Structure 1
């Protein structure tokens, strides 16, 4: 797998990263750039192309992940003849509110982005992942284990995402596809700023895990020797 940005004729293992233009997704791209061909997912074509130009081997993957026809077309346009070494599901949204405040559409939006879009993109990529005995990594959350006040819709989506990874792992073991669920605590990202704002709290970056630390965890899951798998991993601020 190579691109016009490739610095070497040697084919690199390809990994698709959703939400690659910011936060954890961008940190994952930086972490993997040295030894992977990056397929960078984003909604903004110009921003995604500009990001891809910064790496030695990269290409954009532009689609609104809840537009399933657009996602299918974007996958079809990829050259995955060499298989796919990994997909990192980093894109997601934070829906906050008490149960007596949230309407049905907000629950639906949380599940559509954080669960259904992940499941559908994974389904489309499974033939290429099986061919390469690749790895699926989902960026989950501490809320995938515990829910608190005003976090029901977000936690419900993350609990469901954890169930998805557990089921997918059991199904794909016979095909050699690894499935890793990574659960960061509070991470120093724009989403954390949004969360602290909704909590009427101060955003103090030093209190949170850095995106680079989460990216290192994702890279470990992808780079493990073939006989090993990280099934579930929790990473918290020290």
Structure 2
């Protein structure tokens, strides 16, 4: 009997990541869920009882290798799904170095380091690495400089990785949704001092469907980039 597909997901606690995890769990796939602390890991284990959890703080990418070395790790991964992210909006004149450092760490340096650490397992399965990017990773708007810079860098990471791993059979996809009705967007609206109306934005379920569409693409083709805008 073939082994169940195995997926490692960051950001599975809420929003798009939680929906992707729920859908993969319903298939009976094996889930490895990254949590930033033991409390969040317990919450994920309660929500996804058949999953395995790893504890690591993405805001400290330099410590990922040391932290994960002492935990049980998957031996193969059919996908590595980078969905976690952080955002703080504000003019360049207002954003301090702490915002820049945390944003670049979580959104760019941590996915790069986690990919480096788990690439052997993805290669073993000739698996798929998906980076949940943003429309801000294609064009930066005012007050989004730190977030957009991290996402522009994430696209560059994906593009370079795709070329490097093509011959190993590893597929790499960047997904660029516009504003999506998630807790992250609620935070943005508070920072912008704007009213939040979830019905105006893309549903997280729609983005999750796009992630699975890329993941389920037949082996004869590779979806490299997908951009998702609001419907009419």
Specify the TM-score bucket, using the shorter chain as the normaliser: over 0.9
Over the aligned positions, Cα root-mean-square deviation in angstroms equals 1.8
Deviation of the 1:103 alpha carbon: 2.1
Per the alignment, residue 33 of structure 2 pairs with: 40
Give unmatched runs, 5+ long, in structure 2. Answer: none
Deviation of the 1:69 alpha carbon: 6.0
Cα displacement string for residues 202-226 of structure 1 (whole angstroms, at most 9, x for unaligned residues): 1111111111111111111112112
Q: Is the 8 A contact 1:33 1:56 kept in 2?
A: no
Per the alignment, residue 13 of structure 1 pairs with: 5
Per the alignment, residue 15 of structure 2 pairs with: 23
- Between 111-120 and 70-79, the greater mean CA deviation after superposition: 70-79
Deviation of the 1:147 alpha carbon: 1.0
The structure 2 residue matched to 1:214, chosen from 207, 210, 214, is: 207
Give unmatched runs, 5+ long, in structure 1. Answer: 1-8
Mapping 1:89-104, distance limit 5 Å: 89-104=82-97
Per the alignment, residue 78 of structure 1 pairs with: 72
| TM-score normalised by L of structure 2 | 0.92
Aligned in 2, Cα 1:20/1:148: closer, same or farther, shift over 3 Å? same
Separation in 1, partners of 2:147, 2:84: 13
Separation in 2, partners of 1:105, 1:56: 36
Mapping 1:39-78, distance limit 5 Å: 39-55=32-48, 57-68=50-61, 70-72=63-65, 73-74=67-68, 77-78=71-72
- Between 72-81 and 201-210, the greater mean CA deviation after superposition: 72-81
Q: Is the 8 A contact 2:59 2:102 kept in 1?
A: no
Separation in 2, partners of 1:151, 1:91: 17
Deviation of the 1:56 alpha carbon: 6.0
Deviation of the 1:44 alpha carbon: 3.2
- Between 35-44 and 131-140, the greater mean CA deviation after superposition: 35-44
Q: Is the 8 A contact 1:20 1:29 kept in 2?
A: yes
Q: Is the 8 A contact 2:133 2:155 kept in 1?
A: yes
Separation in 1, partners of 2:70, 2:113: 14
| TM-score normalised by L of structure 1 | 0.90
Q: Is the 8 A contact 1:23 1:190 kept in 2?
A: yes
Deviation of the 1:49 alpha carbon: 2.8
Separation in 2, partners of 1:64, 1:108: 14
Aligned in 2, Cα 1:99/1:67: closer, same or farther, shift over 3 Å? closer
